[in-house]
Structure 1
Amino acid sequence: MMKKMGAMLLAAAVSQWAMADAVSVQNQLNKKYPALKIENIQATEMPGIYSGSVGNQIVYTGEDAEYILAGSMIRLKDQKNLTNALMMTQNQVDWKKLPFKDAIKSVRGNGKRQLAIFSDPNCPYCKQLEVELNKLTDVTIYTFVLALKPQSVAPSKQLFCETDPALAWSNLMSKGIQPGSKKSCANPVERNLQLAQKLAVSGTPAIIFSNGTKLMGAYPAAEIEKIWQELGL
């Protein structure tokens, strides 16, 4: 019993020490480089290295808070991407509160799995993601059209005047066919911009999984499948 109690006290002390180190690193960053706004500092599995977040990006720094590294931390013994795992836990969205009425809905197969995508029609990485999304089966995709580029505003609004916005979106992204409608109609383009700001989606593409995990970038279909498996979705 005493051995067990001693082990528990030691574990608590180590945890508190690690937390104190993380607080020290955060304080150093705030003092030395206040403009960087690096948050969520915490110890990693690698001794002396701490992770933090700048917007949607994970960065790493040492105990002296003098250098920043951006990239993936891979655990060699099992090839696990610890950076992706960290992003999944930090970037969370309340899926149930997403305004799906403002998205273009596309159902493939049984539509059981779900994704929400933020995409700009003139974003090359968004077009790349569309190619990957087309490889997925049994999925419902909600696309929130995000007109970040000035030249994207008009076609984004025109999409919602089409008889089949999902087909019009597909033609626009895969074939470069502009929406044919010349009339004006109600559209969610402005609301989507406000939603993106609220969710800290500052660029495109962004992918939100149905458990609320938010990732930025054009992930390959195989990687999305792997993430679904890891998340149990």
Structure 2
Amino acid sequence: MRLKYLAAGLLSLCAASVWADARQNIAQSLERLQFPVPISAVSESPVEGLHQVQLENGKVIYATADGRHLIQGVLLSVGDDGVRNLTAEVEAEQAKQVLAALPAEQLVVFAPEQPKTHITVFTDVDCGYCRKLHEEVGQLNDLGIEVRYAAFPRAGLQSATARTMQSVWCADDQQKAMTNAKQGKRVSAASCEDPVAEQYSLGSRLGVQGTPAIFFANGRLLPGYKPAQQLAAEAIANK
């Protein structure tokens, strides 16, 4: 029995060493390519001999264990039940976990009494389509969709937009301040330990490049605006 446990322990150590070697090899190759995003995790992919490399920005690439061959693209599974985008599934799951860890009190939330699901929207108060989306928040709430706003000032953290958004997050009535800002009205200056910079950084890591960037409850990203009826239907389908 002791030999059985010893053999299992040795196998476990060997496996850990193999994964550590693969990670090091892949990391060295990415460093040679001056790849700007660090590795978060390395694991098996559905393709034999190919490793799945999760990056800290939530994206996925693939590599051989020796790090000599890298693939940046989408891995599809084609079967009798149709086509699955395996890369998108992994990226969505990672985004889901990251967004689930966001404290609710750090978001500006517009919620119905009995939400069917929620969306997390990285927003900019001066963005035209963000304003158009906000005009339909009431409709989304009526359709059972909770809207959670995270800050993503596109012009950067030193911009006037960022300062306005800091005041929104620090306002006594965040919902009213958000609505005023989206309508181009003046928002009273306020300061506090706001999460704007942290959320801006998080959005960048999740691949947000423009606003509104809408994440469904399952982590899937919808870049850009959609009318309330369409958006609600997609949100419920991706809850």
Distance 2:101 2:146 in 1: 15
1:54-94 deviation per Cα after TM superposition (whole angstroms, max 9, x unaligned): 22211112344234333322211132221122124434237
The match for 1:207 among 206, 211, 215 is: 215
Report what 1:25 is aligned to.
Answer: 22
Q: Which amino acid in 2 is paired with 1:143?
A: Y
Distance 2:29 2:186 in 1: 54
Contact 1:120–1:146 at 8 Å: present in 2 too? yes
Report what 2:3 is aligned to.
Answer: none
Contact 2:177–2:187 at 8 Å: present in 1 too? no
Contact 1:22–1:50 at 8 Å: present in 2 too? no
Q: Relative to structure 1, is the Cα distance of residues 38 and 146 closer, same or farther in structure 2, using a 3 angstrom cutoff?
A: same
Q: Percent identity?
A: 12
Distance apart, 1:131 and its partner CA: 9.7
Mark the runs of 5 or more structure 2 residues left unpaired by the alignment: 1-6
Contact 2:109–2:148 at 8 Å: present in 1 too? yes
Distance apart, 1:165 and its partner CA: 3.5
TM-score, normalised by the number of residues in structure 2: 0.62
- Which stretch of the first structure deviates more once superposed, 28-37 or 131-140? 131-140
Q: Relative to structure 1, is the Cα distance of residues 33 and 119 closer, same or farther in structure 2, using a 3 angstrom cutoff?
A: same
Contact 1:19–1:42 at 8 Å: present in 2 too? no
**1:145 maps to 2:156:** no
Report what 1:75 is aligned to.
Answer: 77
Q: How does 1:217-228 map to 2 (within 5 A)?
A: 218=223, 221=231, 223-228=234-239
Q: Paired residues, what number?
A: 207
1:14-51 deviation per Cα after TM superposition (whole angstroms, max 9, x unaligned): x9987665444312123343354333111211122221
**1:48 maps to 2:49:** yes
Distance 1:30 1:184 in 2: 45
Mark the runs of 5 or more structure 1 residues left unpaired by the alignment: 1-8, 229-233
- Which stretch of the first structure deviates more once superposed, 191-200 or 43-52? 191-200
1:96-120 deviation per Cα after TM superposition (whole angstroms, max 9, x unaligned): 65142x4332235732423333223
Distance 2:122 2:152 in 1: 6
Contact 1:196–1:202 at 8 Å: present in 2 too? no
Report what 1:184 is aligned to.
Answer: 189
Contact 1:111–1:140 at 8 Å: present in 2 too? yes
Report what 1:84 is aligned to.
Answer: 88
Distance apart, 1:142 and its partner CA: 1.5
Distance 2:175 2:77 in 1: 49
Distance 1:63 1:193 in 2: 37
